[in-house]
Amino acid sequence: MDPLLDLLKKNAREPDAILAKELGVTEADIRARIAAYQNEGVIRGFQAVLNTDRLDSTDVRAVIELRIRPEREGGFDRIASRISKFPQVESMFLMSGGYDLLLFVKGKSLQELANFVSARLAPLDGVLSTATHFMLRTYKDQGVLMESEPHDDRLQVCP
Amino acid sequence: MTTVSKSVRNFIAPHLRDIPKSGIRDFFDIVAGRKDVISLGIGEPDFQTPWHIREKAIASIERGATRYTSNLGTPELRQALAEYMRQSFQADYDWRHEVLVTVGVSEALDVALRAVLSPGDEVLYHEPCFVAYAPLIRMVHGVPVAVDTFRKDDFRLTVAELEKKVTPRTRVLLLNFPNNPTGATLDRADTEALADFAIRHDLLVISDEVYSELTYEGGRHSMAAIPRLRDRLVFLNGFSKAWSMTGFRLGYVCAPAPLTDAMMKIHQYCMMCASSISQTAGLEALRQGDADIAEMRESYNQRRNFIVSSLNEMGLDCFMPRGAFYVFPSVQATGLSSYDFAMRLLNECSVACVPGTAFGSCGAGFLRCAYATGMDQLKEAMDRMTAFVAKLRG
């Protein structure tokens, strides 16, 4: 992978000037490469990674395993695309194994998510079954530990 | 503190009494306890030890593998090390008789020097260098003979400088590339020339290559890769820098069987063996740790590019080092000495760097900055230094 993408994955807020120095190229080059990735649809967005447990929020998160019936034309894609457009769905993947779609969903309350599953997902044509698991606590998200390892406790000067 | 009568000091061996405390230690005492400091003075990776390595160490404790191991080190680890030497340097060492696992490279160097030096023997070593070399040589009653390296050579060691210092009493050439504190490396022509020099003067070469995995462009050129040097080479390496395992204290020596045997004599009486837990962790690092190194190396590489370009932009001349995680900028343009620059930078900007003189007198006018520190810290440190240098040059 392009080291620029690695750096952006680590810290998308890194100024172009710093990225340019780290990679030994010009700032203009960095800007052009990022723009190209955006145009090609490789970079789909830049987001903060939050520890929601530390937010004063009552949002509820769950993962939902969905079994669906593939269609003769288009397989899983058409129904998957429909489901992915619900705003409650934060991430969604087609899976191998005992179910087909794995959804990461978010709602304002347990009730909202329950309604979403029973009123929106389950009745969809092609959905065979759902299994909903509520998340209790986040330990790691998108490669980021929610509790950092102990602070840098190295000696301040050493040989 | 209780008062100590003068006579107590008389119990200390004179040759030890005469060894000065490390300059870096002095600087540590000044920095220690200050909270707001960004330290570029740390000669230690900032990465956590990769989790799979730590996990193996934990598992070995759970399994009860907490006994003495063979003095030389566990057979599994020695076999893996011999394989590593083959893969990395095309160097053949018999794991049964030619590989010794030690408590860090520090112990490896100590046993190597003790095994080969007699009182009065001279050791050629290059400065600026790691702070332990001259003291360790003195502790075995050897005579350390410093050979200067220069900015104009990108701090490579040249045969021309060596020839000025070699005498009939010279027994050992001690090398450390990639180098702490300059980040200098050797290319193939350099290692060949040094090998020829050693053979011409019938010297033993002790090569501390603990930073060898942290080599950027230009490839790495080990003394172990030179077959004609094999019978006069003691190769030292360790796990601290490559896998960020400093606290595990794990190193090793590869040398012809009679030399390994001699070092083993010392090691078995004074150390017994390296920590069994660390040896398990080291084996995991060798077997599964290639990706860890690649990832850390890439990160160091990017920080190196950043810090070299930042230092040059602020007007501190800095060559692009090809190894380790140090840069060695010159502060001569500011008119301050290394020490004054470092002290004022610390007091006025709360950035700690080590004066080049801590690594030998020819480090005068230079500063060691370690970039084994997160980018956020590095950026802040460079901002502060830029302002500081601008103020100095008014």
Residue A86, in any domain of the structure: yes
What's the rounded mean pLDDT across residues B289-315? 96
Q: Which of A7, A154, A157 sits opposite B302 (nearest CB)?
A: A7
Asked if residue B20 has pLDDT above 90, the reply is no
What's the rounded mean pLDDT across residues B309-313? 97
Residue A28, in any domain of the structure: yes
Which helix H or strand E contains A144, and what residues bound it? strand A144-145
- Same domain as A71, residue A35: no
What's the rounded mean pLDDT across residues B18-25? 81
List all residues of chain A from 80 to 99 with a beta carbon under 8 Å from chain B.
Answer: none
Asked if residue B86 has pLDDT above 90, the reply is yes
Confidence of residue B102 (pLDDT cuts 50, 70, 90): very high
What is the rounded CA–CA span in Å between residue A50 and residue B298?
26
What's the rounded mean pLDDT across residues B229-252? 97
- Same domain as A59, residue A8: no
* Residue B239 · residue B249 · CB < 8 Å: no
Residue B327: strand pairing partners: B369
* A136-156 pLDDT per residue, tens: 999 999 999 998 877 777 888
DSSP category for residue A123:
T
The one-letter amino acid at A140? K
What's the rounded mean pLDDT across residues B6-28? 84
Asked if the Cβ–Cβ distance from B180 to A23 is below 8 Å, we say no
What's the rounded mean pLDDT across residues B12-16? 91
Asked if the Cβ–Cβ distance from A22 to B305 is below 8 Å, we say yes
A31 touches chain B (CB under 8 A): no
Asked if residue B23 has pLDDT above 80, the reply is no
Asked if the Cβ–Cβ distance from A156 to B22 is below 8 Å, we say no
Predicted pLDDT at B26 = 76
Confidence of residue B3 (pLDDT cuts 50, 70, 90): low
Asked if residue B1 has pLDDT above 80, the reply is no
What's the rounded mean pLDDT across residues A85-103? 96
A24 touches chain B (CB under 8 A): yes
- Same domain as A107, residue A60: yes
Is the link from the previous residue into B178 a cis peptide, with omega within 30 of 0? yes
Predicted pLDDT at B4 = 67
Asked if residue B114 has pLDDT above 80, the reply is yes
Cα pseudo-dihedral A34, A36, A38, A42, rounded to 10:
-100
Asked if residue B119 has pLDDT above 60, the reply is yes
Asked if the Cβ–Cβ distance from B302 to A158 is below 8 Å, we say no
What's the rounded mean pLDDT across residues B330-349? 95
Helices and strands of chain A, counted as H and E runs: 5, 7
Residue A147, in any domain of the structure: no
The percent of residues in chain B predicted with pLDDT above 70, rounded, is 99
- Same domain as A69, residue A105: yes
- Those residues whose C-beta lies under 8 Å from the C-beta of residue B200, and which sit 6 or more positions away, are none
Among B49, B300, B306, the residue to mutate for chain A (most A Cβ within 10 A): B306
Confidence of residue A80 (pLDDT cuts 50, 70, 90): very high
What's the rounded mean pLDDT across residues B253-269? 98
Where is average pLDDT lowest: B64-68, B216-220, B276-280?
A: B216-220
Asked if the Cβ–Cβ distance from B28 to A158 is below 8 Å, we say yes
- Same domain as A60, residue A14: no
Asked if residue B287 has pLDDT above 80, the reply is yes
Asked if the Cβ–Cβ distance from B302 to A159 is below 8 Å, we say no
What's the rounded mean pLDDT across residues B313-319? 96
A154 touches chain B (CB under 8 A): yes
A11 touches chain B (CB under 8 A): yes
Domain count of chain A?
A: 2
How much is the pTM? 0.91
- Same domain as A129, residue A66: yes
- Same domain as A31, residue A82: no
Which of the residue ranges A74-88, A141-155, B188-202 has the most confident prediction, judged by mean pLDDT?
B188-202
Where is average pLDDT lowest: A147-151, B109-113, B248-252?
A: A147-151
Q: Is the ipTM of this complex over 0.90?
A: no
Residue A114, in any domain of the structure: yes
Go through the domains of chain B in sequence order and give each one's CATH number. 12-48+291-393 (3.90.1150.10), 51-288 (3.40.640.10)
Confidence of residue A51 (pLDDT cuts 50, 70, 90): very high
* A58-75 pLDDT per residue, tens: 899 999 999 999 888 878
Asked if the Cβ–Cβ distance from A22 to B46 is below 8 Å, we say no
Residue A47, in any domain of the structure: no
Residues in B closer than 8 angstroms to A3, CB to CB, are 298, 302
Residue A151, in any domain of the structure: no
Residue A118, in any domain of the structure: yes
Q: What residues of B are in the A interface, CB distance below 8 Å?
A: 22, 24, 27-28, 31-32, 34, 37, 39, 41-44, 46, 48, 130-132, 180, 298, 302-303, 305-306, 309-310, 352, 354, 375, 379
- Same domain as A117, residue A64: yes
What is the rounded CA–CA span in Å between residue B318 and residue A85?
54
Residue that wins the pLDDT comparison between B236 and B23 = B236
Asked if residue A134 has pLDDT above 90, the reply is yes
What is the rounded CA–CA span in Å between residue A143 and residue A140?
6
* Residue B154 · residue B319 · CB < 8 Å: yes
Asked if the Cβ–Cβ distance from B305 to A23 is below 8 Å, we say yes
CATH number at residue A15: 1.10.10
- Same domain as A126, residue A59: yes
Distance of CA A126 to the CA centre of its chain: 25
Predicted pLDDT at B2 = 64
Predicted pLDDT at A72 = 86
CA torsion through residues B376, B382, B385, B390, sign: negative
What is the rounded CA–CA span in Å between residue A104 and residue B193?
62
- Same domain as A60, residue A29: no
* B146-181 pLDDT per residue, tens: 999 999 999 999 999 999 999 999 999 999 999 999
Residue that wins the pLDDT comparison between B60 and A153 = B60
Question: Count of CB contacts below 8 A, A vs B?
Answer: 62
A55 touches chain B (CB under 8 A): no
Residue A22, in any domain of the structure: yes
Domain encompassing residue A36 = 3-40
Residues in B closer than 8 angstroms to A157, CB to CB, are 24, 27-28, 31-32, 39, 41-42, 352, 354
Residues in A closer than 8 angstroms to B130, CB to CB, are 159
Confidence of residue B356 (pLDDT cuts 50, 70, 90): very high
Residues in B closer than 8 angstroms to A22, CB to CB, are 302-303, 305-306, 375
What's the rounded mean pLDDT across residues A76-84? 93
Average predicted confidence (pLDDT) for chain A: 93
Q: Which of B131, B302, B352 sits opposite A159 (nearest CB)?
A: B131
Q: B55 phi and psi, to 5 degrees?
A: -65, -40
Predicted pLDDT at B21 = 81
Asked if residue A132 has pLDDT above 60, the reply is yes
Q: Which residue of A has its CA nearest to B383?
A: A18
Distance between A3 CA and the closest CA of chain B, angstroms: 9
- Same domain as A11, residue A76: no
- Same domain as A73, residue A25: no
